[in-house]
Amino acid sequence: MKLLNYLKKSLAKNCCSEGDLINQEPIDRSDDYYIQYEKWLKTKKYQSMLASLYEAFLNHQSCCNNKDPFVSFLMISKINGFTMHYDAKRWTEEDFKYFFEYMAIYLVENHEFATVSSTQEVTEFSDKVEQVERYKLKNPALEVDYSAILIRLCYTSNQLTSIKFCGTCTPKRITNLAGLFKKMAAIEEG
């Protein structure tokens, strides 16, 4: 049995791109991190980032050719979400890092989500190393659009790559991802 397990693990490394989790620990932010986050918050850069998401979502729903090449959406019956790819011409790494933080904090403080877990993981593949910071949030209330949200900040070989947001739709609710972007950015109805 040991030989079979060894062979499966060895073959998986060579052919299936299955990585090895080499580190997993809770996210632990320093006081300096939160001082820098608060400074970033005062710049209100999150508003322009959320406005970009909102516009990308509207363009995603229409048949226009103005789709944002750095944002993709997942809209199925039970899950709504997006992936926002890092673009150094549009945002700094700090913008992306603190935007990830902003979304989690906003949902906890303004929509009564509870943090189920916050972890950072490092996974080693044969050709790269992936680092992911992850917040899992839950809200059992039936009057919210999403009962669970997963937000991930992703790095590949120490290069920032993306933010991924995935919301599990609350049963019997009509969800409004664009509305959530507007609330988070405090964008006024126009």
* Residue 4 in domain: no
pLDDT of residue 136: 96
13 within domain boundaries = no
- How large is the C-alpha radius of gyration of the chain? 18
What's the rounded Cα separation, in Å, for the pair 172 and 169? 9
pLDDT in the model for residue 144: 84
CB 139 within 8 A of CB 112: yes
**Residue 64 falls inside a structural domain:** yes
Residue 160 lies in a domain: yes
Would 1 be classed as within a structural domain? no
Q: Identify the pLDDT of residue 188.
A: 44
Residue 12 maps to a domain: no
Strand order in the sheet with 114-124: 20-26, 114-124, 129-138, 146-156, 159-169, 79-85, 71-75
Domain membership of residue 38 (yes or no) is yes
pLDDT tens track for 7-25? 455 555 444 457 899 999 9
Residues of the chain with pLDDT under 70: 1-17, 63-64, 187-190
Domains held by the chain: number = 1
For residue 95, what are the domain limits? 21-186
Examine residue 118 and state whether it is found in any structural domain, yes or no. yes
In this prediction the pTM is 0.84
